[in-house]
Amino acid sequence: MTSRLSSREHYADLLDKYDTWLFDCDGVLWSGDKTIDGAIEVLQLLRHHKKSVLFVTNNATKSRANYKKKFDSLGVEAHVDEIYGSAYASAVYISSVMKLPKDKKVYVIGMGGLEEELREEGISFIGGTDPADNTLASFSLANWTPDPTVGAVLCGLDTAINYTKLSKAFSYILRNEGCAFLVTNEDSTYPTSDGLLPGAGSISAPLRYALGRNPIAIGKPQRTMLDCIKAKHDFDPKRTIMVGDRLNTDIEFGKAGGLATLLVLTGITKESELSGPNASPTVADFVTKSIGDLRALIS
């Protein structure tokens, strides 16, 4: 059962119970280029109460350093080591979990931020923002020399997605023995201030469909993301809460990690999806309209 928060006492109770606050960003702290009303004050309040504040985003188009600039531009206080993105987690997964040999490369479908995180982890890659692969020219296997050292394909949101990238990624997974198929995250849509657009999960859907095979996914709700945070940051799951706007990513992520979960309704999930015949099977521990509601504590 979800507890619906509405009074100062409810919020004070939450503040008491949880020391570490994990936040999704898009749809929770901001929507596109607009901060959610009250979000800045609430984060200040948490910091004032000596809470650990961490930001956990599936957005893999930006590196942590670049994501920090987004916080800065919106006037939201954040430090690079508080930010965990699926691009960073993907790089950590490749270097530390799957331990891709140093003489192997990653073929990237994704943007500059994903490349930046791979580079920081010392992972060799091709594709991505390479102009040769950012083309609408026709692709032919006959005119292509595949790189036999590609040992993984990593696919994230890429707004320059095209048939050349899809064909190369498909061919590497199909032809290079043992080539891994990884996706930064599986979000079906991507929220912008003007509405939804296809998300990272949709960009990798052609590979999934053509190969008839599911990838290893890194971002929320996968455990990989939490392992990545835990490796850098000690916290007690019992005194940790995950705040998010998506039931099937944020809330499932929190629940899978044994964390408390707080759903806000300023993003993807709408009030109407919480009950009735079409209600999601995933239920958050707490729900409140907006993170800004916690301003009730400021008086």
Could you confirm whether 293 is annotated as catalytic? no
Give the integer Cα–Cα distance in Å for 76 and 61: 19
Find the shortest distance in angstroms from Cβ 83 to its own copies: 23
Instruction: Specify whether the CB–CB gap between 91 and 117 falls below 8 A.
Output: yes
**Of residues 57, 63, 41, the one with CA closest to residue 267:** 57
Binding residue (CB under 8 A) for its own copies from 10, 188, 239, 283: 188
DSSP-derived 3-state class of residue 176? coil
* 104 assigned binding-site residue: no
* 24 assigned binding-site residue: yes
Instruction: Specify whether the CB–CB gap between 245 and 269 falls below 8 A.
Output: yes
Binding residue (CB under 8 A) for its own copies from 16, 69, 73, 209: 209
Binding residue (CB under 8 A) for its own copies from 57, 59, 66, 167: 167
Counting residues that bind its own copies (by CB under 8 A) gives 39
Could you confirm whether 227 is annotated as catalytic? no
Among 13-21, 96-104, 203-211, 217-225, the segment contacting its own copies (CB under 8 A)? 203-211
By the rule CB under 8 A, 174 interacts with its own copies: yes
Instruction: Specify whether the CB–CB gap between 261 and 250 falls below 8 A.
Output: yes
Helix axes 200-211, 163-175, angle to 10 degrees: 50
Mark residue 141 as left, alpha or beta (left: phi above 0; alpha: psi -120 to 50; beta: remaining). alpha
Shorter beta-carbon distance to its own copies: residue 199 or 254: 199
Among 67-75, 91-99, 130-138, 216-224, the segment contacting its own copies (CB under 8 A)? 130-138
* Residue ranges at the known binding site for substrate: 220
Which residues are annotated as catalytic? Answer: 24, 26
* Residue ranges at the known binding site for Mg(2+): 24, 26, 245
